[in-house]
C-alpha cells in the first residue's frame, strides 16, 4: 500500500512545534480527521481542552473509539493490529513498555 506524506503546512499555517515537518501515513489515516485534530493540538501545544486520564482503561477506551491519545505532549498514539503505536515522521512505531508509559500524567485525552 502506498503511503502518503501529510505535511505540517497542510494542517497549520503557523505551528508552534515545527518538527516533524511531515508524517508518513496510509491513505485512510491521511484522511482521518481525529488524527489530524490530534496533530494540530500537538503542533500548536493547545492542550487546554485535554485531560489527564485517571487510569489506563480511559486510554484504551479512547483507542477503541478510534481517537488518538497524546503521549508526553508530542506523540499521537493509536492501536493497530493489537499493538499500541506512536506516530513519528517515518510512520507508526511500536510503543515501548517502560515505567513512563504507566504514568497517567504523561497522557492527554
Residues 6+ apart with CB under 8 A from 80: 92
Segment 18-48, tens digit of pLDDT: 999 999 999 999 999 999 999 999 999 999 9
Segment 69-104, tens digit of pLDDT: 999 999 999 998 888 999 999 999 998 878 888 899
Q: Is the pLDDT of residue 107 over 80?
A: yes
The SS3 assignment for 28 reads helix
In angstroms, the CA 57 to CA 20 distance is 29
In angstroms, the CA 8 to CA 44 distance is 11
Q: Rounded to two decimals, what is the model's pTM?
A: 0.91
In angstroms, the CA 81 to CA 79 distance is 7
Give every strand in the sheet of 83-88, ordered side by side. Answer: 91-94, 83-88, 75-80, 70-71, 107-108
Residues forming a β-bridge with 78: 85
Domain limits of the chain?
A: 4-108
From residue 31, how far is each of 21, 25, 28, 43 by CA, in Å?
17, 9, 5, 18
Question: In the structure, what pLDDT confidence band is assigned to residue 1 with cuts at 50, 70 and 90?
Answer: confident
Q: Count the neighbouring beta carbons within 10 Å of the beta carbon of residue 30.
A: 16
Amino acid at each position: 500500500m502506498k503511503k502518503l506524506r501529510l505535511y505540517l503546512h497542510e494542517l497549520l499555517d503557523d505551528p508552534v512545534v515545527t518538527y516533524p515537518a511531515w508524517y508518513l501515513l496510509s491513505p485512510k489515516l491521511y484522511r482521518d480527521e481525529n488524527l489530524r485534530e490530534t496533530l494540530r493540538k500537538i503542533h500548536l501545544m493547545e492542550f487546554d481542552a485535554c485531560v489527564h486520564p485517571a487510569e489506563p482503561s480511559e486510554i484504551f477506551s479512547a483507542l477503541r473509539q478510534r481517537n488518538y491519545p497524546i503521549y508526553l505532549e508530542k506523540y499521537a498514539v493509536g492501536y493497530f493490529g493489537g499493538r499500541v503505536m506512536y506516530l513519528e515522521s517515518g510512520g507508526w512505531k511500536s510503543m515501548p513498555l517502560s515505567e513512563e508509559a504507566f504514568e497517567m500524567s504523561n497522557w492527554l485525552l
